[in-house]
Structure 1
Amino acid sequence: MRRAPTSPSRVDPEREAALADLDPLTVTKLWDNPCWLSFRLNFIAFRFNDPVYRWIETRYGLVRPEFVALYAVGLKEGVAAKNIVASSGLPKNTLSRAVQKLLQRRLLKRETDPADLRSYVLHLTPAGRNIFDETMGPMIQHQATMLAGLSGDEQRQLCVLMDKLVIASPNWPQELQPEPHKTTGDLS
């Protein structure tokens, strides 16, 4: 199997020692895997998201889709639900239920979109703003802890590289188009 371009070198004992603390399957999935990028991104995202969403659900009674919607509106007041769907990857029906619960709990309010009177936009209520503001500090600190292993220059470089991937993402296929399997009798 092809190793990832950034797989640990056998001559780098410090990295090898650090990998010894990880589960062997995790090491395999993250380093001995031709799809290393997606597995590493998912691994890092999970390490951020899991404790954050568990804490938010325990403290505020908000499940992940609800907080995703609240957080999106906190970042940009006056967005439509369709914008949250596009930016979050959540299914439209899941987000719709989440927004309805946030409206019922009076954490969000819906107003007519001044740019399109047939549409609605979402805003935080004062209670919703309080939750958004209270969650920002711990989330920023959690991110800082995760980034502490990188120098300032490395953090900026990571940000630039992630920017490039995000900007290129509209050009990625939305569905896989695997090559057809050749049968053993196929000579072409």
Structure 2
Amino acid sequence: MSSSETPRPEAVPALETRASFLVSQLGLQSAQRFTAALAPLGITPNRFGVLVHLARQEGRTQQELATALGLHRNSMVGMIDDLEERGLVERRRHPDDRRAYAIHLTPAAHAVLEAGDRLADEQEEAMLAPLDAGERAALVATLTRLVAAAGYRAGVHPGLDARH
């Protein structure tokens, strides 16, 4: 076909047949819904993700947390500053290194985590409602393989940065 010819419509694949498009649709919808669900808690999904990582290993230094999340240390400082101003984390001198601060969750953070986890469960249930338990497990397993193959860090959103 010459460059002046218009391709036939049937020669152009429909977007709804492309896995990348479908995953993108669901990802956008999921992100928008989770952002809206967290808004009454006064936190963004990215800040919530930092709290989740801290909850799994409280007392990390800012540098350790930045490394785990793949962030520049300056971005991590800004996020921790914001979370501290909101009363969700506190910096304490690290017991093994007086030059470093260990980051700890406050009782308010635990309440936000509990509420946010409940909201995430509700959102996931709504999104996966058409699937049975076996299909859900297969979907999660497949997505986990694809995320790993793409080189992403487990449990870290690639869009995580200090602006959100």
TM bracket, shorter-chain basis: 0.5 to 0.7
Q: Which residue of 2 aligns with 1:53?
A: 35
**Aligned match for 1:67, one of 48, 58, 66:** 48
Structure 1 residue 98 corresponds to structure 2 residue 79:
yes
Question: Higher relative contact order at CA 8 Å, sep ≥6: structure 1 or structure 2?
Answer: 2
Q: What is the CA deviation profile of residues 120-156 of structure 1, one whole-angstrom value per residue up to 9, with x for unaligned ones?
A: 3322111111111122112101101111111211111
CA distance in 2, matches of 1:133, 1:107: 13
Q: Which residue of 2 aligns with 1:168?
A: 149
Q: What is the CA deviation profile of residues 89-144 of structure 1, one whole-angstrom value per residue up to 9, with x for unaligned ones?
A: 66654443221011122211223445666543322111111111122112101101
- After TM superposition, give the deviation of residue 48 of structure 1 in Å: 1.6
- How many equivalent pairs are there? 142
Paired residue type of 2:32: D
Paired residue type of 1:96: V
Q: Secondary structure at the match of 2:102?
A: strand
Q: Secondary structure at the match of 2:122?
A: helix
Structure 1 range deviating more: 67-76 or 143-152: 67-76
| RMSD (Å) for aligned C-alpha atoms | 3.0
TM-score (norm 2): 0.67
Percent sequence identity over aligned pairs: 22
Cα distance change of structure 1 residues 74 and 167 upon mapping to structure 2, 3 Å threshold: same
Cα distance change of structure 1 residues 119 and 45 upon mapping to structure 2, 3 Å threshold: farther
Q: Which residue of 2 aligns with 1:137?
A: 118
Q: What is the CA deviation profile of residues 4-33 of structure 1, one whole-angstrom value per residue up to 9, with x for unaligned ones?
A: xxxxxxxxxxxxxxxxxxxxxxx63x43x5
Please give the residue correspondences for 1:4-83 in structure 2 after superposition, counting only pairs within 5 Å.
28=15, 30-31=16-17, 36-37=19-20, 39-57=21-39, 59-82=40-63
**Aligned match for 1:127, one of 96, 101, 108:** 108
Q: Secondary structure at the match of 1:170?
A: coil
Contact 1:80 1:120 in 2 (8 A): yes
Cα distance change of structure 1 residues 169 and 55 upon mapping to structure 2, 3 Å threshold: same
Contact 2:33 2:123 in 1 (8 A): no
Contact 1:65 1:90 in 2 (8 A): no
CA distance in 2, matches of 1:165, 1:129: 31
Cα distance change of structure 1 residues 65 and 91 upon mapping to structure 2, 3 Å threshold: farther
Q: What is the CA deviation profile of residues 22-69 of structure 1, one whole-angstrom value per residue up to 9, with x for unaligned ones?
A: xxxxx63x43x5xx42x3333222222212212322x12223433332
Cα distance change of structure 1 residues 47 and 95 upon mapping to structure 2, 3 Å threshold: farther
Paired residue type of 1:169: A
